[in-house]
Each structure stands twice: as structure tokens, then as C-alpha cells.
Amino acid sequence: MHLVSNLKKLITYNLSIISKFEHIQSAHCENGASAVLFHNQGVHISEPMIFGIGSGLFFAHMPFMKLNGMPVTGFRPLPGMIFTRAANKLGIKMKKVRFRNPEKAMEALDKNLELGIPTGCVVGVFHLTYFPAPYRVHFNAHNLVVFGKSGNDYLISDPIMGEFTTLSRKDLMRVRFAQGTAPPRGKMYWPVHIPQEIDLKKAIIGGIKKTCYDMQSIPLKYFGIKGIRFLASEIRKWPKRMEARKAAQYLGQVVRMQEEIGTGGAGFRFIYAAFLQECAGIFNDNRFRELSTQMTEAGDMWREFAVEAARLCKNREGQGVTYDSVSEMLMKIADKEEEVIRKLKDLIKTL
Amino acid sequence: MKKEEVPQDDKNLTEGKFRDLCYAVDENGNYVQVLSSGWEPKNIVIMQAWENVNELAEKARTDFKNGKVSPLVFHMERCQMDLKLLSAYTGFSKGKIKEHFSPAEFQKLTTSELEIYADAFGIKPEEINNV
């Protein structure tokens, strides 16, 4: 259905079907933009594989970093890191540029498009016209790929959309220069060198090592598995520290960060489990498959946490759900992830 | 999450524009991609966040109708902006914007100043007074 519709759109936009760019929908924009850029250069790597090689699995609860006036809870590293790490490990060289001047930024993009170079752009979604209204918030780390231009319309492959979309020059310029926290400043990126051969196994092992380090060994309480336990202890304090309504908002933000920003479900845990499953095939090693199953279980526990937390947000305390009970769920999640990561680290030592 | 468990709790939050791509396992335990039109816990927290925005916007609307503030406050709240962000989008200093919150000062705004505000809010200048 998508193929036919995309085809019709391409004909409308008068592009050669033979030289067509292939749009792929993904769960997460950063993985997805990378996948699409690599894919259209002949490097076919799935979203889970990019996520795994890019060491995307993470956790951080940071009261010192605020979004909407409330602490940021992250389930992945800083925006841009998955993509940078994945490209590095795969030996793919990327060019990245930022601009002070919006007009110059558009000129540079136009130049790339004239040369037939699909280009990744970091944008803010507040003014993203094709987004549904409830999703248009001041989030400035969204990734999309611009792959063509027709008159005043730019052809956009937005990884979270089912089909490709368009933006006018004015609208694209506006989202590339969105204001607020971490403004994109017209950032654009594209691959400039694809190696003849890619050592996928080496890239995977390196990616997993980094994930194990991030989850186990950062010596600060906010990050990794310690971070999950830290959040658990914070959650207990919220109803004591602030009025009920605010505590519910704090909890709501945790769930939104887990599920709203395109994580593929359960704060990226399912994507990581899919990655481990692919590794089982690549290494011909069933131990990966077993760990994939356990990571899926961790993901299911996060989903259950979200169900209970949302119930708490809606109804406040009652029916057996309290801030203490959801905190306890997080402690169990921390234990589970600790076990999976430990076994994963042991596994790659043997490879 | 199993394939058949992927939720389809459509509250029209995506306005039919897209569905979330999720990862779930099929009958053989293999990961597949499944589209979801929404999930109840997620819908709850998204709507909760918007309720807060709407409340602030409503207060600003009431203040405007009572002649206390100019329509700019309503639009600022509706757009989830604070003074700092509105200043970044308009190029006006925070102090100046605050002045423009007073109905009297707002009346003195030039056409081009109104256009700049309208652009920041994603509306046409003539729509600014639609509160």
C-alpha cells in the first residue's frame, strides 16, 4: 500500500522512478535516518542493528536537566550519538555541518540535492507542519532526510512517517532553525565514504562493549542501572516533596519519555532485543537469542510499569497503585537489566 | 510484547497522520515490526501534558477577556512557550515582550511587529486577536 502511494507521489513530483529514493519507516528517527541514508548508499543495515552497533541502549534520570520544568529521563544517549557511533564502527565517513545563517543552510542543502545527495537534517518539531498537533512540542532533536526538491517543495523522508512527505522552503528553514533547548542550527549530515567491506561482527562487539560500560560502569548515580535505582528512590520522594498534581506530572513525563518519543516500545528495550536476535544469526550463537528473550522480558516489565504509572497519574493513589509500588517495579527492572547486561558482557568476552 | 498484543488504542492523537512502529515477537519468538495506532498509558500521559498547557492558556484567555493582558499571553501559553523562547523566536527582548503583555502597549504595536509575533505563533497577524 505504501509502495503504490509513494509511486503515485513520485510521478506527481516528476521524479524518475528508476532513480527513486526508498523511504523506510522506523520506530526511532535517529536510527531511521541513519538506516535510510546508509540503505540508499547500498549498505543495508536494519534499525535494530544500527541501534545496537551505535550502543543506543541506555538509561539516565537527570534532575539537573529539565524539560517542561521537570527532570529529563533518557532511555538512550544524547541525540546524535547513536548515529555517530554507528557510522564510526562501520567505517562510514560522515560529513556534518552547522550554520549560523538560515539562507546559507538552505543553499548548502540545495547544492547537495542538485548533486543527488540525500541529506539528513536535525529539526525541531514544533513547526513541523505534517506532524499531528499533539506531537508538536519544542523538541529539537528530530531527524529527517531530505532527498529531493520539486519547485518550492522539498521531498522529506521522515523516518517515523509511513510515507514520504513535503515541506515548503519556508517551513523547512523554520524547523531547521527552531529555537529552544538544544537548537539544531541547521545541522545537516550525509555519508561521504562507504568502505568496500564492513566487519559487522567487529562493529557489533564494539557496540555491545560500549553499552555494557554505559549501563554498568559510569561512576555517577544518574546513569545506567544505578540510574534506574536512583529514579526508583526519587519516585518515592515525589509525593512527599510536592503536591499530588505535580508529582503526577513528574511521573507522566517519565512515561512520555519512555513511550512517546518513538522508542519502538518500552524505552528501546524491544529494539535492543531485536538487535540481539539478529546477532544470534550473525554469530550463529544461540546465547544471543536467550539474552534477547530476557531483554524482551525487561521490556515487558517497563511496559507494565508504564501501565501502573499512567493509572497513578490519572487516578492518583488507590486500587493498590502507589508511588512506592511503582518504585518497587523499577527496582525489579534494575535487577533484571543488571543480570542481562552482566551475561551479555560475559558472552562477548568469549567471542 | 507479542505481535497480537501490540495496542491499537486510537484516541486520534496522531490525527491519522502516522502510526507508531513497534517491535514485537511473532509465534516463533522472532521480532517483527508492527504498527500501533496508540496505547492507553501513553495516551493518558500525553493528554495529561496537554491539559496543563490548556489550563494555562485558559487562564490567559480569561485574563485577556477581562482586559488584564494582551492576546499575546494566550498565544504564548497555547504554544507552550515562555518569555525566553518567545524572545528567541521574535528577536524582541524579554523586557519588551513583557511590556507588550499590557493591552495598552499591545495597541501600539506596528504591523511588522505583529507579523513577527504571528509568525512565531504559526498564525496570521489578523488571527492574533482570535483568543
CA distance A216 to B53: 38
Contact check, Cβ <8 Å, A274/B23: yes
Contact check, Cβ <8 Å, A270/B79: no
Q: What is the pLDDT of residue A8?
A: 55
Q: Is B63 on the interface with A (CB under 8 A)?
A: no
Contact check, Cβ <8 Å, B1/A313: no
Please check the confidence at residue A278 and state whether its pLDDT lies above 70.
yes
C-alpha cell at A2: 505504501
Long-range contacts of the stretch A63-71 (C-beta < 8 A, 24+):
A63/A222, A63/A234, A67/A181, A67/A253, A68/A253, A68/B49, A68/B80, A70/A249, A70/A250, A70/A253, A71/A234, A71/A250, A71/A253
State pTM to two decimals: 0.89
Residues of chain A found within 8 Å of residue B81, distances taken between Cβ atoms:
138
Interface test with chain B among A140, A260, A293, by most B beta carbons within 10 Å: A260
CA distance B129 to A22: 44
Contact check, Cβ <8 Å, B17/A249: no
* Pairing status of strand A70-74 against strand A93-97: unpaired
C-alpha cell at A27: 520506530
Please check the confidence at residue A144 and state whether its pLDDT lies above 60.
yes
Could you tell me the pLDDT band of residue B121, with boundaries at 50, 70 and 90?
very high
CA of A69: which chain B residue's CA is closest? Answer: B82
Residue with cell 482570535: B130
Question: Could you read off the pLDDT of A109-135 as tens digits, one per residue?
Answer: 999 999 989 999 999 999 999 998 888
Question: Could you read off the pLDDT of A179-196 as tens digits, one per residue?
Answer: 988 899 999 999 999 998
Q: How many residues does chain B have?
A: 131
**Which amino acid does the sequence have at A205?**
I
Contact check, Cβ <8 Å, B48/A249: yes
Q: Is B53 on the interface with A (CB under 8 A)?
A: no
Question: Could you read off the pLDDT of A190-238 as tens digits, one per residue?
Answer: 999 999 899 999 999 999 999 999 999 999 999 999 999 999 999 999 9
Q: What is the pLDDT of residue A121?
A: 96
Please check the confidence at residue A240 and state whether its pLDDT lies above 90.
yes
Contact check, Cβ <8 Å, A303/B21: no
**In this predicted structure, which of A55-64, A132-141, A168-177, A266-275 has the lowest mean pLDDT?**
A132-141
Q: Of A98, A99, A142, whose CA–CA distance to A122 is shortest?
A: A142
Q: What is the pLDDT of residue A191?
A: 93
Contact check, Cβ <8 Å, A252/B49: yes
Q: Longest C-alpha distance within chain B, in Å? A: 69
Contact check, Cβ <8 Å, B21/A264: yes
Q: What is the pLDDT of residue A18?
A: 34
Q: What is the pLDDT of residue A123?
A: 96
Q: In the 8-state DSSP scheme, what is residue A142? A: E
What three-state secondary structure class fits A139? coil
Residues of chain B found within 8 Å of residue A252, distances taken between Cβ atoms:
44-45, 48-49
Residues of chain B found within 8 Å of residue A25, distances taken between Cβ atoms:
21
Query: Of residues A78 and B67, which shows the higher confidence score?
Result: B67
C-alpha cell at A85: 557511533
CA of A26: which chain B residue's CA is closest? Answer: B21
Mean pLDDT of chain A: 91
**Residue B22: which of A265, A293, A313 has the nearest Cβ?**
A265
Please check the confidence at residue A17 and state whether its pLDDT lies above 80.
no
Could you tell me the pLDDT band of residue A2, with boundaries at 50, 70 and 90?
very low
CA distance A307 to A309: 6
Contact check, Cβ <8 Å, A256/B42: yes
CA distance A287 to A208: 14
**In this predicted structure, which of A1-10, A259-268, A290-299 has the lowest mean pLDDT?**
A1-10
Q: What is the pLDDT of residue A69?
A: 85
Q: Is B62 on the interface with A (CB under 8 A)?
A: no
